[in-house]
Amino acid sequence: MGDGGRTARSGASRTDAPHGASPARGAPPSWMRNRAGSRARGNSAPDRGAGVRIGIALVALLVVGGFAFRTILGELAGFAPPRAAVATTVPVPTVAPGATVAFMIEKGDSTTAVSERLAAIGLVDSARAFRLLVIWRGAEDRLRAGTFPVRQGMTMDQLIEVFAAPQVRDVSITFIEGRRLEEHAEVLGLSSANVEAGRFLALARDGSFMYEFLQGRPARTSLEGYLFPDTYRVVPGTTTADQLVHMMLKRFGEVATPKFLEDARRVTRLSELTMHQLVTVASIVEREAVLPDERGRIAAAYLNRFRDGEGLFADPTVQYAVGRAGAWWAPMRAAPRTIAPESPYNTYVVTGLPPGPICSPGEASLRAVAGPADTSEKYFVRNDVKNDGSHVFATTLREHEANRARYQRG
């Protein structure tokens, strides 16, 4: 077979040689000589097949490149491809429209990781589009680690602004249980929160807020008792008094839920108990109780009197009636019945509950009223013999008077 191959090539060479002459060794084949001759003469027809193939390739390159360019620009501008093209890639939003969530960026997170998490919970439609926009804006090195409040519906530009903005240090402010509105305003004014204390107090006294737990309040009632005592984080110069009031009301609503009130009615056997009444009693308990394990018994004593239509005889309500700046809870130097006897907050004169809370009760006092001790006790007196903040309890007025003589000094 090898010889046949060489013979065939030799025969081809002889056939191509002019006038039957053998070509010289190493001479190019005839098709190369013919093309070379044609180029030299300039009168040979061009290779149309090769030209068509090159043209098709150029058109395809332009089409594909143009589509890719338009896609990138579309994503950067916020335009989405046709619905059918993205139906399988757009994440199902896990954040309700308009809702605000805390989005965390951890130290060392890449732009890709941040983009994918945003898309996974529905804060952006496309992880790739967000990443490309970050790159386009040169913000890759400016995304900060931290937890950011972001709203579902924010644009990608707005999200980048939040994540890349210079970090403002927030501060904490603590409102203590048992304080009245004016004291909260004083604490706010002395803090570094830079929240207008005057505006805060005006809102607490006369502001209108639509929360379910506020609906049963008497007309022209302040927010006394409803601004939940806790520690709050605020951004100086950014957090407003309105926002702070909402923060405190929302915190109250997390504790005093509709179910909380429903359970309190069942446990106390007061089927008509309102949230306002519950908070009012809790505020008195907050001022009276010193030892945590006595809250339930103090709450029971007041609820038992309230149930039986008797006077509460609560010293803190009288102190609230006459409180003033610098002496919000001044000791009483006279018989309580004679101090501001015209005030509806003097529970030695009026029967039943005062018009509203006298301070901000904490969660422990609220729960003490919602689940009081199972006792028929109605009275208690401070135990000055022990002088440890404890009280001595009694069921009858006679027992109570005996306890006063035995345990109270002064």
Residue pLDDT, tens place only, 17-62: 334 333 444 444 444 444 444 343 444 444 555 554 555 555 444 4
Residue of 281, 310, 308 lying closest to 370 (CA atoms): 281
Output the average pLDDT for the chain: 83
Residue 305 has pLDDT above 50, yes or no: yes
331's torsion region: left (phi>0), alpha (psi -120 to 50) or beta?
beta
pLDDT of residue 195: 95
pLDDT of residue 102: 87
Count CB neighbours of 182 within 10 A: 17
In-domain check, residue 78:
no
Query: Which residue among 164, 188, 215 closes a domain?
Result: 164
pLDDT of residue 148: 87
Q: How far apart are CA 170 and CA 263, in angstroms?
A: 38
Query: Which residue among 147, 164, 181 closes a domain?
Result: 164
pLDDT, tens digit, 9 for 90 and up, residues 336-376: 999 999 999 999 999 999 999 999 999 999 999 999 999 99
Q: Which residue has the tokens 């992880």?
A: 127
Count CB neighbours of 118 within 10 A: 23
In-domain check, residue 90:
no
User: Taking residues 209-238, what's their average pLDDT?
Assistant: 94
Residue of 353, 348, 379, 380 lying closest to 270 (CA atoms): 353
Question: Would you say 123 and 66 are in contact if contact means Cβ atoms under 8 Å apart?
Answer: no
pLDDT of residue 216: 85
Question: Would you say 292 and 177 are in contact if contact means Cβ atoms under 8 Å apart?
Answer: no
pLDDT of residue 53: 55
Query: Which residue among 164, 198, 214 closes a domain?
Result: 164
pLDDT, tens digit, 9 for 90 and up, residues 143-164: 988 888 899 899 999 999 999 9
Question: pLDDT exceeding 70 applies to what percent of the chain?
Answer: 77
- 215: DSSP letter: T
Question: Would you say 305 and 298 are in contact if contact means Cβ atoms under 8 Å apart?
Answer: no
Q: Bridge partners of 82?
A: none
Residue 47 phi, psi (nearest 5): -80, 90
The H or E element spanning position 171 is strand 171-174
In-domain check, residue 342:
yes
- Where do runs of H (alpha helix) occur along 341-396? 363-370
CA atoms within 13 A on the CB side of 216: 15
Question: Would you say 344 and 363 are in contact if contact means Cβ atoms under 8 Å apart?
Answer: no
pLDDT of residue 289: 97
Burial pattern 328-351, b for ≥16 Cβ within 10 A else e, equals bbeeeeeebeebbeebebbbbbbe
In-domain check, residue 122:
yes
The separation between the first and the last C-alpha atoms of the chain, rounded to the nearest angstrom, is 133
In-domain check, residue 208:
no
Residue of 255, 297, 302 lying closest to 275 (CA atoms): 255
User: Taking residues 282-305, what's their average pLDDT?
Assistant: 98
**Which of 5-14, 285-294, 303-312, 359-368 has the lowest average pLDDT?**
5-14
Question: Would you say 31 and 47 are in contact if contact means Cβ atoms under 8 Å apart?
Answer: no
pLDDT of residue 190: 95
**Which of 216-220, 281-285, 316-320 has the lowest average pLDDT?**
216-220
- Quote the crossing angle between the two packed helices 127-136 and 48-77, to the nearest 10°: 90
Domain of 354 in residue numbering reads as 291-407
In-domain check, residue 379:
yes
pLDDT of residue 55: 54
Distances (CA, A) of 408 to 19, 24, 43, 262, 390: 145, 137, 130, 38, 12
Residue 317 has pLDDT above 90, yes or no: yes
Q: Bridge partners of 231?
A: 174
| Tally of domains in the chain | 2
In-domain check, residue 79:
no
**At 107, which CATH number?**
3.30.1490.480
pLDDT of residue 409: 85
Residue 1 has pLDDT above 60, yes or no: no
The H or E element spanning position 260 is helix 258-268
Q: How far apart are CA 259 and CA 278, in angstroms?
A: 13
Residue 87 has pLDDT above 70, yes or no: no
275, 281, 285, 286 alpha-carbon torsion, rounded to 10° = 50
- 327: DSSP letter: B
- Where do runs of H (alpha helix) occur along 78-232? 83-86, 111-120, 127-136, 156-164, 181-190, 197-206
In-domain check, residue 94:
no
Question: Would you say 393 and 317 are in contact if contact means Cβ atoms under 8 Å apart?
Answer: no
Question: Would you say 117 and 145 are in contact if contact means Cβ atoms under 8 Å apart?
Answer: no
pLDDT, tens digit, 9 for 90 and up, residues 375-393: 999 999 999 999 999 999 9
Structure tokens at 68: 């890719």
pLDDT of residue 147: 86
Question: pLDDT exceeding 90 applies to what percent of the chain?
Answer: 68
